[in-house]
Amino acid sequence: MKLKLTVTGFAAVKFLGTTVLSLAFAGCGLDGVRGTVVSVEENRYVIRDGRGREWHVHADERSHRDHVQAGEEVRVYVTKEGYAAFIQRLQ
């Protein structure tokens, strides 16, 4: 009985913890963006997503990226600061 209560208590704490963590960390880390390349200038890209928002992102030698041109559709994983870890051209 004591073990069951302990586990139930753990489940309740875990559920609460999950909720709090979800609220605290929601949206952290890399964002995934799908859009069309508006312009490319060396390591700087401008991408327009499906809602019409423009994302200014930059890449470096550590970025995993396809060679893309303006007008092509891409999926990008980007930090809040605009660093693109992945730039993937969609077929």
Partner 1 sequence: MTHARFFIQVTGFRRIVCPALVVARRRNPAGRRIRLIVSVLAVAGLVLYGQDASAVRPFVTDDARVVYPGQLEVENFGGMTMGRDRKPGFEIRSLQGTSVTDRLEIIAGGFGFQYENNTMTPQDLVFQPKYVLYRSFGLVPSVSAAAAVLAPLSGNRQLWNSYHMMHVSWFLFTPQDSTDPYDNDLAIHVNLGAKGQYHAGLGGRWTNKLYWATGFEVMTPISRELRVLGEIFNGDPFSFEEEFPAYQVGFRWYKTPNLQWDFVVRGVRDGGIGSGIGAGIETGPGWNYTVQIGLRFLVDDVFPFR
Query: Which strand ranges, in their side-by-side order, compose the sheet holding 31-41?
Result: 54-58, 44-49, 31-41, 73-78, 84-89, 64-65
Closer of 29 and 71 to partner 1 (Cβ) = 29
Residue count, binding to partner 1 (CB under 8 A):
33
Q: Which residue of 33, 37, 47, 59 would you call a contact of partner 1, by CB under 8 A?
A: 33
The rounded distance, in Å, linking the Cα atoms of 58 and 82 is: 6
Give me the residues that bind partner 1 (CB under 8 A), please.
Answer: 4, 7-8, 10-11, 14-15, 18, 21-22, 25-34, 49-50, 64-66, 75, 77, 85-89, 91
